[in-house]
Structure 1
């Protein structure tokens, strides 16, 4: 026989009961199980200072009500921002489309050719097939403004 001391085993003293709720709280979760109701129809009572759900008629915790409002507000703001971006892109595209449509209509004429608004030279479709040179819009606007100021003097 061995002279090693006998170490008692936990199972020999009976079943050790572990509370699942204690483990959930230790992990940062709540003791209360989530219900199937998402509490989308919340009602608030100023006199009793409470929030409750009209669907399941249970009291809603203030933090849960606050989280629902924040999520709802955040979704609405992001939807408005997305809509504003879509409108801005549509306005830019529409302006470009109008100019392209006007040029296309002018080039479709079989007897007439559009003229450059600045030098009054004809612009033919074959002139732009190989690509166009480009410059800064700010530079062009500044040059036009300078010429208009010189003309007004």
Structure 2
């Protein structure tokens, strides 16, 4: 009886563990999410949006291929360098499509993405809002008061 209970618990544990694994986002999900975020920061016309969508999709296609290679263990420094080259080319091509203030907005968008996304506000109390700090400064502990000397 103990053996059956142990086998059943192992099977259920495996099923729950497998369902808890995160699913890799699809190519279209990644591209659409990036385009929505970019569209909020950089006001583009429909032609620019379509061209940039294609560039972004190509870049994410390469990124997903690299991720699959990493999972199988068959990747190297050449693959990573190739991806960074493609990412730089994509950024350069997007900057060539954008005009004037759009390029500045795009640079700000890229900096924001490198910092970890948009700064979000978190409610502290009903009327007060606290800014969430991202990056390395978010990891630093706030200064604490020194404890008073206690004698035992």
Structure (1/2) with the larger helix percentage = 2
Which structure: larger Rg?
1
Shorter-chain TM-score: what band? Answer: under 0.3
- State the structure with bigger RCO (CA 8 A, min sep 6), 1 or 2: 2
Q: TM-score, normalised by structure 1?
A: 0.25
